[in-house]
Structure 1
Amino acid sequence: MIKEKRLSILAESKELKIILAGIVFSFLWASASTATKIGLHSAQPFVISIFRFIIAGSIMLVVSHLIMVKRLPQKKEWIKISIYGLLNITFYLGLYVIAMQKVSAGLGSLAVATNPVFIVLISAVWLSHKINFKNIISLLLCLTGVFLAAYPLLQSSFATPSGILILIVSMVAYSLGTIYYSTQEWNGLHILTINGWQTIIGAVFLLPVLGLTYESDKNTFNADFWFSTTWLAIAVSIGAVQFWLYLLRINPVKAAYWLFLCPIFGFLIAFFVVDEPLTLYTLFGVILVIVGLYISIYSKKLKKQIRRSSI
Structure 2
Amino acid sequence: MSNNSNARIKWLAAGIIFAALWASAATATKMGLTSAQPLVIAVVRFGMAAAIMLFFAHVVKRYRLPHQQEWKQIALYGLLNITIYLGLYVIAMQTVSAGIGALAIATNPVYISFLSVFFLKKKLTGPVLLSIVICMAGVVCAAWPLFANASVTTSGLLLLLLCMLSYSAAAIYFSARNWNDLQLLTINGWQTLLGGLFLLPFTLFLYKGEANHFDQTFWWSVAWLAIPVSIAAVQLWLWLLQTNPVRAGLWLFLCPLFGFVFAALWMHEPISSYTVAGVVLVNIGLFLSKINTKKSAVVFD
TM-score, normalised relative to structure 1: 0.94
Aligned with 1:243: secondary structure?
helix
- Distance in 2 (CA, whole Å) between partners of 1:231 and 1:205 is 22
Deviation per CA, 1:109-160, whole angstroms, max 9, x where unpaired? 0000101110111110122211011111111110100110010111222100
- 2:24 aligned with 1:23, yes or no? no
- Distance in 2 (CA, whole Å) between partners of 1:123 and 1:155 is 36
- 2:164 aligned with 1:171, yes or no? yes
Preserved contact between residue 20 and residue 255 of structure 2 (Cα < 8 Å): yes
Q: Could you tell me how far 1:20 is from its partner in structure 2?
A: 1.4
- Distance in 2 (CA, whole Å) between partners of 1:57 and 1:298 is 36
- Distance in 2 (CA, whole Å) between partners of 1:116 and 1:281 is 23
How many equivalent residue pairs? Answer: 301
- Distance in 2 (CA, whole Å) between partners of 1:192 and 1:288 is 34
Q: Could you tell me how far 1:201 is from its partner in structure 2?
A: 0.3
Aligned with 2:296: secondary structure?
helix
- 2:112 aligned with 1:122, yes or no? no
Work out which of the residue numbers 278, 288, 299 in structure 2 matches 1:295.
288
Unaligned runs of 5+ in 1: 1-5
The runs of 4+ residues in structure 1 deviating greater than 4 Å are none
- Distance in 1 (CA, whole Å) between partners of 2:141 and 2:57 is 43
- Distance in 2 (CA, whole Å) between partners of 1:52 and 1:252 is 28
**Matches for 1:234-253 after TM superposition, within 5 Å:** 234-253=227-246
Partner of 1:80: 73
Partner of 1:3: none
Partner of 2:214: 221
Counterpart AA for 2:8: E
Identity, % of aligned positions:
50
Change (3 A) 1:249 1:127: closer
**Matches for 1:108-257 after TM superposition, within 5 Å:** 108-257=101-250
- 2:276 aligned with 1:283, yes or no? yes
Partner of 2:90: 97
- Distance in 2 (CA, whole Å) between partners of 1:223 and 1:71 is 37
Partner of 2:60: 67
- Distance in 2 (CA, whole Å) between partners of 1:107 and 1:298 is 25
- Distance in 2 (CA, whole Å) between partners of 1:31 and 1:24 is 11
Aligned with 1:300: secondary structure?
coil
Deviation per CA, 1:62-96, whole angstroms, max 9, x where unpaired? 11111111111111111111000000000000000
Partner of 2:252: 259
Work out which of the residue numbers 33, 49, 53 in structure 2 matches 1:56.
49
- Distance in 2 (CA, whole Å) between partners of 1:201 and 1:122 is 24
Counterpart AA for 2:19: S
Counterpart AA for 1:263: P
Aligned with 1:156: secondary structure?
coil
Partner of 1:304: 296
- Distance in 1 (CA, whole Å) between partners of 2:40 and 2:214 is 10
TM-score, normalised relative to structure 2: 0.98
Q: Could you tell me how far 1:248 is from its partner in structure 2?
A: 1.9
- Distance in 2 (CA, whole Å) between partners of 1:50 and 1:74 is 25
Preserved contact between residue 119 and residue 305 of structure 1 (Cα < 8 Å): no
Q: Could you tell me how far 1:195 is from its partner in structure 2?
A: 0.6
Higher mean alpha-carbon deviation, 241-250 vs 183-192, is at 241-250
Q: Could you tell me how far 1:244 is from its partner in structure 2?
A: 1.3
- Decide which structure has greater helix share: 1
Q: Could you tell me how far 1:228 is from its partner in structure 2?
A: 0.3
Deviation per CA, 1:281-302, whole angstroms, max 9, x where unpaired? 000100010011011023326x
Preserved contact between residue 87 and residue 173 of structure 1 (Cα < 8 Å): yes
- Distance in 2 (CA, whole Å) between partners of 1:250 and 1:106 is 29
Counterpart AA for 2:81: N
Deviation per CA, 1:24-73, whole angstroms, max 9, x where unpaired? 11000000000000000000001000000001011111111111111111
**Matches for 1:267-278 after TM superposition, within 5 Å:** 267-278=260-271
Deviation per CA, 1:250-304, whole angstroms, max 9, x where unpaired? 2111111000000000000000110011000000100010011011023326x43
Higher mean alpha-carbon deviation, 35-44 vs 13-22, is at 13-22
Q: Could you tell me how far 1:12 is from its partner in structure 2?
A: 2.1
